[in-house]
Amino acid sequence: MSDSVIMHGTTILTVRKGNEVVVAGDGQVTLGSTVIKASARKVRQLGAGGPKGNKVIGGFAGATADAFTLFERLEAKLEQYPDQLLRASVELAKDWRTDRYLRRLEAMMIVADAKTSLVLTGTGDVLEPENNIAGIGSGGTFALAAARALIDTDMDAEAIARKAMSIAAEICVYTNENLTIEKLSA
């Protein structure tokens, strides 16, 4: 597949500070060097929560159809393991790595509940980020660096995420400032 038909263009960031966690994503989708859509929603709530009403939020980087397939699979795992985001994520990662169909999916995910933030990859990684901050996608490292610089300020998690995403959008041509933000409190 040539670069002209590979979809690029996502920055997803999670920031956990105090009793709050935020997952933020930009809205830009590109095909080669053309912006196809500027207002895509790459961050959303997953499932209805477990018996205790625990909510999960997530964001994806990569091929959209692949990411939605993974979101659906994670929601099924959350139904199987209610209120156990880590266990559901590990089970998804096992399937993702071993299933012939899922192995071909090209996406990464950040998921969070009130207690845990995780980065999920197709190589079987289920990573809990250091410093309660993680970034994925083409602008993820820029947003991550900015958020790390801001974490010790008086800003709350949402303000840090907004500022870090703005900085990433100034640097990464595949990132815009049309944000979707989901937030949970502990």
pLDDT(84) > 90 = yes
Q: What does the longest C-alpha to C-alpha distance in the chain come to?
A: 47
pLDDT at position 50 is: 53
Residue 186 lies in a domain: no
Residue 54 domain-assigned (yes or no): yes
pLDDT greater than 50 at residue 7: no
Higher pLDDT, 97 or 68: 68
Residue 121 lies in a domain: yes
Q: Tell me whether residue 150 is in a domain.
A: yes
The DSSP bridge partners found for residue 24 are 13, 181
10 included as an active-site residue: yes
- Averaged over 131-147, what is the pLDDT? 95
Phi, psi of 182 (to 5 degrees): -120, 140
Does some domain include residue 141? yes
Nearest-CA neighbor of 161 among 39, 57, 8, 16? Answer: 16
Average pLDDT in the chain = 87
Q: 166 lies in which domain range?
A: 3-180
Query: Which tens digit of pLDDT belongs to each residue from 18-71?
Result: 999 999 999 998 887 888 889 989 999 987 655 556 699 999 987 777 778 888
| 101 or 29, which is more confident | 29
Number of domains the chain contains = 1
Question: What pTM was computed for the model?
Answer: 0.90
pLDDT at 102: 63
CATH number at residue 18: 3.60.20.10
Alpha helices of the chain — where are they, by DSSP H?
Answer: 64-80, 85-98, 100-103, 140-150, 157-171
Strand partners, 136: 12
Q: Which has the higher per-residue pLDDT, 16 or 50? A: 16
In a domain, residue 127? The reply is yes
Domain assignment of residue 185, yes or no: no
